[in-house]
Chain A
Amino acid sequence: MTRPVRTSPPPDATDREWKPTDDLPLLVLAALERDEAAWKQLVERLSGVVWHTIGACGLSSTDRDEVFAATFFRLFENLSHVREPRALPAWIATTARNEAHALFRSKRRLVPTDDLPVRDLFAGDHDESLLDNELLGVVIAEFNKLSPKAQSLLRLLTAVPSLQYNEISKLLDIPMGSIGPLRQRYLHQLRTALVPYLSDGTL
């Protein structure tokens, strides 16, 4: 393994002035007035938190697409009932989780089987060829070695727009007081695994 390549942070990682929830109220209003461009912006704005939530549910890639679309259909149907647009990230994360569980239930009924092979679904569900950055590839490889529970939590913690601890607690059904300590533990595990790959080795 060669030395890591520099990476660029996403705008939301460093820009503390702008929050991706700031213009949600305007986008919701415009979409309700049948402004399709506003709807597309709304989808783009919320796509990250939906995708990370679905990723935390241990679905195959095909099912992820299906649940992703179903989640936004649900949002569109409910758009006129949105009272607090800034709370949409939590609402849509819950909706995505529910859609994923509904899909699990239907698959369980259709194909009687043992518990879903969550670990298998998590592993190797990404396209290595897309990783042009070696360090990012290493991060994913080490991330995939973490437990499914750790992966789920870290996916939700890295969602954009971000989710609050109480929201993550509900989504994963773990006590809110455990999230901080678990976050520390899992990030420590990941950091320890990455030490050999980081330039100065002093992590």
Chain B
Amino acid sequence: MNFDPKTHNGLEALLRDALGAAEPIPARAMDAAFSAFQLGMVDDLLAELLYDSLVEPSPLLMRGSEGEARLITFANDHLTLDVTFLADRRTVVGSITPLFEGAVEVEIEAEDGGRSFAPTDQYGRFRAEMAADSVRFRVAGRLVTPWISR
């Protein structure tokens, strides 16, 4: 054989071949990675701020047990992201639509580079604690919001 499995390098080369044959990268995974070029264009990913209750106060705003909240809606061609900063100034709840298959996390990035991840449930909802004053939200490959100061 071309590999000499008596040597470590030869055995590793044989194993590399075996793994490549047994677990080839599926074409759909490669296509998804290629598509980052199209989907990933920043202009395309960047979500527009559609609504901010700080700018347009609504009489329907929640003023219940959780105090005064700030509601913001972002959207791009792929997703709509609704977020609510609760009055405790730490908790963020939100949801994404439409729902899509697979595990989805909403990443919350702080100005200092800190990142936290909030998994969405079966209805696309998430909840996170975030103390930073300025944050932006990201759903990998699908949406990035502008920075928002609380």
Q: Which residues of A contact B (CB under 8 A)?
A: 4, 6-10, 13-14, 31, 36, 39-40, 43-44, 47, 51-52, 55, 61-66, 68-77, 99, 102-103, 105-107, 109-110, 125-128, 130-133, 135-137, 139-140, 143, 154-155, 157-158, 160, 183-184, 187, 190-191, 194, 198-199, 202-203
List 13 A-B residue pairs with CB atoms under 8 Å apart, sorted by A's residue number.
A13-B13, A43-B33, A52-B19, A69-B36, A70-B141, A73-B141, A77-B42, A77-B144, A110-B121, A130-B24, A139-B18, A183-B8, A191-B6
Measured CA separation A8–B17 after assembly (Å)? 8
Size of B's binding interface in residues, CB under 8 A: 48
Question: Given the complex, which residues of A lie within 8 Å of B104, measured CB to CB?
Answer: 106
Cβ of B40 and Cβ of A140 under 8 Å apart?
no
Tell me how many residue pairs across A and B have CB atoms closer than 8 Å. Answer: 165
Measured CA separation A202–B35 after assembly (Å)? 48
Cβ of B5 and Cβ of A106 under 8 Å apart?
no
Cβ of B140 and Cβ of A73 under 8 Å apart?
yes
Q: Is B129 an interface residue (CB 8 A)?
A: no
Measured CA separation A72–B1 after assembly (Å)? 36
Main secondary structure of the interface of A (DSSP, over half): helix
Q: Is B103 an interface residue (CB 8 A)?
A: yes
Measured CA separation A13–B35 after assembly (Å)? 29
Question: Given the complex, which residues of A lie within 8 Å of B30, measured CB to CB?
Answer: 43-44, 47
Measured CA separation A76–B45 after assembly (Å)? 12
Tell which of A9, A61, A107 touches B3, judged by Cβ atoms closer than 8 Å: A9
Tell which of B12, B34, B38 touches A158, judged by Cβ atoms closer than 8 Å: B12
